[in-house]
Amino acid sequence: MQLPPADVVHIWTVPLTATAATVSRLHGLLGLRERLRAADRAPADWWRRHVVSHAAVRAILGGYLDREPSSLRFGYGRWGKPRLAGLEFNLSHTGDLALLAVSAQRPVGVDVEGSRPDFPAVAFADRYFPPAERELVAAAGPEAPAVWRRLWSRKEACVKAAGARAALGLSLAVAGPGDLRRVRDSSGLLPGTWLLRDLPAPEGHAACVALDGDRPFAVTHQTWIADEAVRHREVP
Ligand SMILES: CC(C)(COP(=O)(O)OP(=O)(O)OC[C@H]1O[C@@H](n2cnc3c(N)ncnc32)[C@H](O)[C@@H]1OP(=O)(O)O)[C@@H](O)C(=O)NCCC(=O)NCCS
Q: Answer yes or no: are the C-beta atoms of 22 and 226 closer than 8 Å.
A: yes
- For atom 5 of ligand 1, the residue with the nearest CA is 166
Give yes or no for residue 80 CB within 6 A of ligand 1.
Answer: yes
What the chain holds in terms of domains, given with CATH numbers, is 1-104+219-236 (3.90.470.20), 107-216 (3.90.470.20)
Nearest CA to ligand 1 atom 25: 160
Q: How many CB atoms lie within 10 A of CB 234?
A: 16
CB distance 213 to ligand 1 below 6 Å: no
Residue 148: HSE in the Cβ half-sphere, 13 Å Cα cutoff: 25
H-type alpha helices, 66-192: 121-128, 131-138, 144-162
Sheet of 8-15: strands edge to edge?
Answer: 88-94, 97-103, 8-15, 218-223
* C-beta of 76 in contact with ligand 1 (< 6 A): no
Per-residue pLDDT of the chain (236 residues; tens, 9 = 90+): 999 999 999 999 999 999 999 999 999 999 999 998 866 677 889 999 999 999 999 999 999 999 999 999 999 999 999 999 999 999 999 999 999 999 999 999 999 999 988 899 999 999 999 999 999 999 999 999 999 999 999 999 999 999 999 999 999 999 998 888 999 998 888 989 999 999 999 999 999 999 999 999 999 999 999 999 999 988 88
CA torsion, ordered 18, 19, 25, 26, to nearest 10 deg: 10
CA of 100 to the centre of ligand 1 (A): 13
- Give bridge partners of residue 101 from the DSSP assignment: 11, 90
DSSP-derived 3-state class of residue 185: coil
What pLDDT was estimated at residue 189?
A: 86
* Residue from 81, 119, 208 to probe ligand 1 pocket by mutation (most atoms less than 8 Å from CB): 81
Residues forming a β-bridge with 212: 194
pLDDT at site 131: 95
d(CA 180, CA 196): 5
